[in-house]
Structure 1
Amino acid sequence: MTPTSAERGKETRVRLLDAASQLIAEEGWGAVTTRKVADRAGLRPGLVHYHFSTVTDLLIDASLGEVRHEVEGSLAALRREIDPAAGVEQVLAMAEGYTPDDQLTVLFTEVLLAATRHPRLRTELAALIREFRAALADWLRASAGLDDAEATAVVFAALLDGLVLHRLVDPSLTAQPITGPLRRLVGAKESTDATGTKDATDAGRG
């Protein structure tokens, strides 16, 4: 069946957004141009401005789409865990995927910097972050029974963001065991083996 005009337009828009996301990570926010996006997407340059008012609008929509996808995926994974300790493990497993050479990791850092210069990006990114913190607080309240779930969610989310950023410049931090401190932050019990020994992730932490 031949695609309709609306379907072709949607496909074109998706290709442009994907191309923009790739270029933000590869070359940096300020280096992305109409022609580069069109070339990467395999489309005519005129289509960029047909679907987006400016290149900046394209970059904002592309980056927010990536962030939104990650937020939704992270929350979906977290909500599958009713035990706070298991939830911490799940979150850390996801954070481990954000390595210095990972495209999404680099894109996120570019987005944070760009948000200081573009009001719409800052406003919509802040809304996504608040959505994540609110959902995290709901989960902490339900799974760990925390009275200060909102405050804990703020600290927990900021800690994870900081960890990812620090690992960008110091990859050796991947070897640093932090599961124990995070468990204590959310009020989860430290896991033990059959002999009652602390989990190996807490080795050397007293």
Structure 2
Amino acid sequence: MSADAKDNPTAAVPAARAGRPGRTRASAKGEQTRARLIAAARTLLAGGMSERFTTRNVAALSGVSHGMCHYHFQDRTDLVLAVVADIRPEWILPLEEAVAAPGTFAERAGRVVDLLSRPEGAELSHLHAALHWHALNDARVRECLEAEYRRWRGCFTALFEVLAAERGGGVDARLLGEAVAAAVDGLAAVESLGAEVDPGAVLRALLRTVAAGSWAGAPERGSAPDPAPRTPPAAGG
């Protein structure tokens, strides 16, 4: 080894290895292949083809060899779990952002109502139905989906924690959050059947009622409940 190499070990490493451009290209190609497989998995699941949902069919639809599919995903359960993670930015992250953004309870509740009033796309609706079916038949999918829904329900708990902070306590944020999350989930089921329901109006009424009820039953700090509570701010505007 030359003196320069001893003083600077990287000098002895070929440029291709030092920067690893070949490995970077391979990694990018691998990510593209993985994305194609997940997209194909989404298509099959959203198309109501659970009985045809196999790694072989996903590979064929994505134009990837079956062996390459198994290189990225051990089995079809791994593919389902990848789809669960892939749709997170479409339903959980926007809700987390709406609650976490600065503002009063009423302002945050308004953002939540606006977000949840938007119609859910057909693909996402079908995907949720397919994922629930797989959760009934696969323990790993069930565990993963339960964790996703805990995170989703946690958004409503966080919303009512803002209300509790504004009122100085006396609000069971977790209980109210779970109750509203269950109602929202039920409303989504009603909407999926094409019922003529105005989700925005229903959600505003729900949040106003729950917020007002929690205020009426909330004691002042260290005292008995106030028999004539002050009027709380209206949720959602």
TM range (shorter): 0.7 to 0.9
Check the 8 A contact 2:105/2:162 in 1, yes or no. Answer: no
**Structure 1 residues 174 and 42, CA, compared in 2 at 3 Å: closer, same or farther?**
farther
Q: 2:205 aligns with which of 180, 189, 200?
A: 180
| In the alignment, structure 1 residue 21 sits paired with structure 2 residue 42 | yes
Q: 1:123 aligns with which of 122, 143, 153?
A: 143
Residue 159 of structure 2: aligned partner: 139
Residue 37 of structure 1: aligned partner: 58
| In the alignment, structure 1 residue 157 sits paired with structure 2 residue 171 | no
Residue 9 of structure 1: aligned partner: 30
Residue 190 of structure 1: aligned partner: 234
Check the 8 A contact 1:88/1:183 in 2, yes or no. Answer: no
Alignment of 1:41-120 (within 5 A): 41-67=62-88, 70-99=91-120, 102-120=122-140
TM-score of the aligned structures, taking structure 1 as reference length: 0.78
TM superposition shift of 1:20: 0.9
**Structure 1 residues 87 and 28, CA, compared in 2 at 3 Å: closer, same or farther?**
farther
Residue 202 of structure 1: aligned partner: none
Over aligned residue pairs, what C-alpha RMSD do you find? 2.7
TM-score of the aligned structures, taking structure 2 as reference length: 0.69
C-alpha deviations, 1:155-178, integer Å up to 9, x for none?
111111111111111331237831
Identity among equivalent positions (%) equals 23
Check the 8 A contact 1:67/1:108 in 2, yes or no. Answer: no
SS in 1 for 2:183: helix
Residue 203 of structure 1: aligned partner: none
Query: Which 5+ residue runs of structure 1 have no aligned equivalent?
Result: 193-198, 200-206
**Structure 1 residues 158 and 27, CA, compared in 2 at 3 Å: closer, same or farther?**
same
SS in 2 for 1:172: coil
Check the 8 A contact 1:144/1:186 in 2, yes or no. Answer: no
